[in-house]
Amino acid sequence: MATRERSRKGPWNGLSGELSAEFLGTFVLILIGCGSVAVALAGLPGSGRQEGAFGAANWLIVAFGWGLAVVFGVYVAGGVSGAHINPAVTLAFAVRRGFPWRKVGPYIAAQVVGAFLGASVVHACYRWAIDAYNAKAGVTRAQSLDTFSIFATFPAKYFGSSWFGPLLDQVVGTALLVALICALIDLRNTAPASNLGPYLIGMVVTAIGLSFGTNAGYAINPARDFGPRLWTYLAGWDQIALPGSYQYFSWYFWIPIVGPLVGGVLGAVVYDLFIGRVLATRETAPEPGRAGEPET
């Protein structure tokens, strides 16, 4: 019993343990997520395993790759930290779910560091494919938006120089993500059993990629975008990474940060307004006449 008590009071039992889980969960998220983009963009064509340009099948690799990345990131960290692995989730839970504000900054820092180092490992594994892709295209890293997209996001050409469209996309996509997370973890609602929550949260990300992904790359996670973006800046993508400027967009880096933070809080508010308060009312005063309940 004395040994067990000392273990409970150990340094990894508190915030330090939670931060290590957020770091590793986000690290896994980026390894699988950015790795799937590297496969679809440079790995398959460069290895001789695909003929032709990036197409719809490659997009499916990306969408399901990111979905599965979330699944396994959440399974890694969920039992220790709750597996936010996303600053938008951390902020939304602080605003609407009683998550301690003193943990918000450390959680976000751990997530960004995990994303940064995850991107560095993906780059280490795929730098040959990246360089071959750029050489075939006749561009340097600083000119290659395609290979930059392995790591971080950018807006579609149809937005032109407007920042409003991509910002709206990030707000809506992240609001949808957080609202559905709130639904999936709400035990008062139809929360999944048998530890299927992480899988279904990952499928939410897949669904967002399939429905909103082409607008702005569906970052929906500031750490997922900024950590790898910082790595690409250091690795030679220069202004495409930071401040996020290319032929038709400029100073884009802040949009995948601000949009998801706003959208995450909005998603939690919407869920609580339309569903959460109804469930809370029914917990204390069941609605007369509901199925299985005799009317009085």
pLDDT at 120: 98
For helices 104-137 and 15-38, the axis angle rounded to 10 degrees is 20
20: Cβ contacts below 8 Å, ≥ 6 apart: 12, 80, 110
Residue 242: how many other CB atoms lie within 10 Å: 18
Q: Is the pTM of this model over 0.75?
A: yes
Give SS3 for 247: coil
Q: What is the pLDDT of residues 36-53, one digit of tens each?
A: 999 999 999 999 998 888
Question: 221, 217, 259, 260: which is closest to 112 by C-alpha?
Answer: 221
Q: Mark the ranges of the chain whose per-residue pLDDT is less than 50.
A: 1-7, 285-296
Taking the alpha carbons at both ends of the chain, their separation in whole angstroms is: 53
pLDDT at 10: 66
pLDDT at 9: 61
Question: 12, 227, 196, 208: which is closest to 119 by C-alpha?
Answer: 227
